[in-house]
Amino acid sequence: MGYARGDDAGARVGETGIVRDRFDALSVMVACYHGPELRVVAANAAFRSFAGSETVLGRSFDELFAGLAAQRLSPVMASVFATGEPQTGREWRVQVGGGREFYLDFVIEPYRDVGGTIVGITGIGIDVTGEVQRRQTAQDRAVDAELRYAHARDVITALQRQLLPQGLPVLPALRIAGSYLLADADDAAGGDWFDAVPLTGGRVALAVGDVVGHGVAASAAMGQLRAVLQDRLDEAGDLMVAIRAADRMARRVPAAHAATVCVVVLDPADGTLTWCSAGHPPPLLVGADSTRFLPVSGSGPLGTGAGYTTATDRLQPGEAVLLYSDGIIERPGREPAAATVELSQVAADAFAGRIFNSAGLTPADRICLHTLELLVRQTGHTDDITLLAAQRRAPAPPLRLGGPGTTLTARATRSAVDAWLTVQETRQEDRVALTHAVTELVTNALTHGRPDTGPGTVTVTAELRDDGEAQLSVADDGRWREPSRPAGDPAGADHGLGLAMAAAFTDHLDIDRGAAGTTVTVRRRLSRPARLLTGDEISVGVRGAPDEAASLMLVLDQPNAPSNRIAIHGPLDASNVEELGVELDRRTLGGTHELIVDLTAVTHLSSAAVAELYRSGPRGSDRHYPLQLYASAGSTAHHVLGLVGLPHTTRDPHDG
């Protein structure tokens, strides 16, 4: 329609309209920014939709996307304007408009006036959120991370992972988090390590170190140094005793020569920090609005004849201390001074929660994860990177439950203990173990520990000790009594199994029987997972793991399965074991037909339920077992079934 006038002016007007329409209809986001303030002078519909506004002209990037400044996108654009060097990004995770999350591929280029002066920049972005989410979904359905780690890397990486701690201690007044990012190269497993050692009086020693070189020798030397430091810290609790022992070892073992280490002893009672940095970058104190690097307190690496001293400072309640390896500083294309400033800025933003909305991550977690994501995704990395953070917290109060056996139930106790452990921020494995143990002990007390005069009283207490051990006690005021059994019920089918399960799920079990009743005490050392990551995992962002637990048992039909099959969700305990037996008997036609039972989604598997699975199995003189039990590796049921020796498979029977 622009050519209808039939003259050159009309043609030009028509061409301008066509160009404008085509520009506005592009599926990629395009925006032009002018001047040092980078104000929008042109933007197509895709960009306006992303910005959530039709009025974008004249507004700066920071005005349109206030949250992206902390996500390190604004500095990239400013750098292009200042240097004239184009910048690209692949699958950057960004959050805009109150938490809307996207992944973007982008190119940012300068544009110049007729004299060659840079007057603005052009940004082109492609929304690849769907592609990334599809890949994440595929990864979520893959085998669990531990198996991927074990088989995806060579023997050097497997050795290195085994030498690193698999968890960090959970302490009453401290929150500790750590992450370890492997080098990009498959054969570049190096000598970085980290550790956290509880000391007397509620203190903790935090250590991050680095052995020169890569390969088996570096990994082995790393393991030796870590073991020496851990042993001396645990034995003496003295920082300098541990540093001197590591220094002596570095003189004797060539592969450990010139290794660096930073060790911090933190007392959560008053925040006192004592540290020594033997040739290693000093700790960083991180607050929401300020950061500061502590001074170096050693003159050189281990084994080089350097002298070592300690220094002291104080960690305030609103701060975290961050230890790190030089891989986060020595990133490709970054000068150490600039990289150090970047680290402090991003760590502060991560600590304050200004980067991403990440439910389930503590401030210490955010420092260790979001800092890695934002700094590494732009430059990449050629060395392992270790981050270890700690912050003070108010201790959670001990748990105390009590009452007559008619009101205190095993399920209510399990729920209360699980909630208490959740507040402690321990890993799921500890929660599963201790909730199973306390359920068995309370069931025993309610069933057997009854006085002659009535149902009796049961008391449950739980506390987290300064050394990171959870101590739970179940006390009753009765004496041992065998429960009455219905006629035909095989006596002794689950006799003693509950106490054995409780012992197997904990590090220590003690029974105190007396005239006033019985008290059973269990202890288990709690830990939080240390994140051992790969570049692929960092590139899509690491989140807190979802944690959902069903409160009701559900038996779900699997009508599309090739054979008779059900899936059970939720807890299996004494309260629903009779229902379970009826359901299994009905679906196996009294034990004459085979049935696949998927227990993967079971959140609790008590000794009474295990006994029912045994009872529902063998039938007749040929001992035919009609139940085929399936529980995926790592699930609660897999752990319990393996513990009691009940045959099951961790591979889905219907997977080809």
Residues of the domain holding 509 = 399-528
User: Both tokens of residue 542?
Assistant: 């690491």
Q: What is the mean pLDDT of residues 316-341?
A: 93
pLDDT score recorded for residue 1 = 34
- Answer yes or no: is 445 within a domain: yes
DSSP letters, 370-398, are HHHHHHHHHH--SS-EEEEEEEE-PPPPP
CATH number at residue 558: 3.30.750.24
- Answer yes or no: is 538 within a domain: no
Q: Which tens digit of pLDDT belongs to each residue from 33-88? A: 999 999 999 999 999 998 888 999 999 988 988 878 788 888 899 999 999 999 99
- What pTM was estimated for this model as a whole? 0.75
Q: Using 50, 70 and 90 to split pLDDT, how confident is the model at 617?
A: low
Residue 13 has pLDDT above 60, yes or no: no
pLDDT score recorded for residue 446 = 82
Instruction: Indicate the SS3 state at residue 442.
Output: helix
Residues 291 and 197 in one domain: yes
Report the range of poorest mean pLDDT among 113-127, 398-412, 476-490, 573-587.
476-490
Q: What percent of the chain has pLDDT over 70?
A: 84
pLDDT score recorded for residue 52 = 87
CATH number at residue 523: 3.30.565.10
Residues 366 and 502 in one domain: no
Residue 490 has pLDDT above 50, yes or no: no
Residues 280 and 352 in one domain: yes
Residues 233 and 322 in one domain: yes
Q: Among residues 155, 220, 233, 188, which one has the least CA distance to residue 384? A: 188
Residues 88 and 40 in one domain: yes
pLDDT score recorded for residue 163 = 67
Residues 303 and 385 in one domain: yes
DSSP letters, 88-129, are EEEEEEEEETTTEEEEEEEEEEEEE-TTS-EEEEEEEEEE-H
- Answer yes or no: is 606 within a domain: yes
pLDDT score recorded for residue 527 = 94
Q: Which tens digit of pLDDT belongs to each residue from 628-654? A: 999 998 888 898 888 888 889 999 988
User: Both tokens of residue 358?
Assistant: 């990440």
**Which residues does residue 102 pair with via DSSP β-bridges, in sequence order?**
94
- For 326, residues 6+ apart whose C-beta sits below 8 A from its C-beta are 210, 260, 280, 281, 383
CB environment 641-651: b (16+ within 10 A), e (fewer): bebbebebeee
Instruction: Report the mean per-residue pLDDT for the chain.
Output: 85
pLDDT score recorded for residue 346 = 95
Q: What is the mean pLDDT of residues 151-175?
A: 73
Q: Count of residues for the chain? A: 656
- For 55, residues 6+ apart whose C-beta sits below 8 A from its C-beta are none
Distance CA 260, CA 192 (A): 9
- Answer yes or no: is 251 within a domain: yes
Using alpha carbons only, how large is the chain's radius of gyration in Å? 30
- Answer yes or no: is 215 within a domain: yes
Report the 10 Å Cβ neighbour count for 483: 9
Provide the 8-state DSSP code for 656: -
Distance CA 338, CA 309 (A): 28
For the chain, the distance separating the N- and C-terminal CA atoms, rounded to the nearest angstrom, is: 61
Cite the DSSP H helix spans in 114-215.
Answer: 129-140, 145-152, 155-163
Q: Which tens digit of pLDDT belongs to each residue from 499-515? A: 888 998 999 999 998 88
Residues 411 and 445 in one domain: yes
Residues 190 and 61 in one domain: no
Q: Which tens digit of pLDDT belongs to each residue from 461-488? A: 999 999 999 999 999 887 766 555 544 4
Provide the 8-state DSSP code for 58: T
Which residue's structure tokens are 């039939």? 6
Handedness of CA 529, 532, 536, 539 (dihedral sign): positive
pLDDT score recorded for residue 341 = 94
- Answer yes or no: is 540 within a domain: no
Domain boundary among the residues 468, 494, 528 is at: 528
pLDDT score recorded for residue 189 = 56
Q: What is the mean pLDDT of residues 444-465?
A: 81
- Answer yes or no: is 650 within a domain: no
Q: Which tens digit of pLDDT belongs to each residue from 275-293? A: 999 999 999 999 988 999 9
Contact between 385 and 332 under an 8 Å Cβ cutoff? The reply is: no
Q: How far is CA 488 from the centre of its chain?
A: 49
Domain boundary among the residues 528, 558, 587 is at: 528
Distance CA 459, CA 481 (A): 18
Q: Using 50, 70 and 90 to split pLDDT, how confident is the model at 155?
A: low
At position 379, the amino acid (one-letter code) is: T
Provide the 8-state DSSP code for 453: T
Domain boundary among the residues 77, 100, 133 is at: 133
pLDDT score recorded for residue 184 = 61
Residues 376 and 407 in one domain: no
Provide the 8-state DSSP code for 532: E
Distance CA 654, CA 656 (A): 6
Q: What is the mean pLDDT of residues 568-595?
A: 86
Residues 172 and 315 in one domain: yes
Residues 205 and 327 in one domain: yes
CATH number at residue 63: 3.30.450.20
Beta strands per DSSP E along 128-271: 167-169, 174-181, 190-198, 204-214, 260-267
Provide the 8-state DSSP code for 141: T
CATH number at residue 248: 3.60.40.10
pLDDT score recorded for residue 489 = 47
pLDDT score recorded for residue 160 = 60
Residues 25 and 85 in one domain: yes
Contact between 388 and 178 under an 8 Å Cβ cutoff? The reply is: yes
Q: What percent of the chain has pLDDT over 90?
A: 50
Domain count, the chain: 4
- Answer yes or no: is 583 within a domain: yes
Contact between 160 and 189 under an 8 Å Cβ cutoff? The reply is: yes
Distance CA 597, CA 288 (A): 50
Contact between 413 and 461 under an 8 Å Cβ cutoff? The reply is: no
Residue 621 has pLDDT above 50, yes or no: no
Q: Which tens digit of pLDDT belongs to each residue from 530-560? A: 887 776 666 666 665 544 444 678 888 888 8
Q: Which tens digit of pLDDT belongs to each residue from 205-256? A: 999 999 987 777 788 888 899 999 999 999 989 999 999 999 999 999 999 9
Higher pLDDT, 152 or 403: 403
In order of 74, 141, 237, 473, the CA distances from 65 in angstroms are 9, 34, 49, 53
What backbone phi and psi angles, to 5 degrees, belong to 257?
-60, 135
Q: Among residues 417, 448, 420, which one has the least CA distance to residue 435? A: 417
Distance CA 277, CA 262 (A): 4
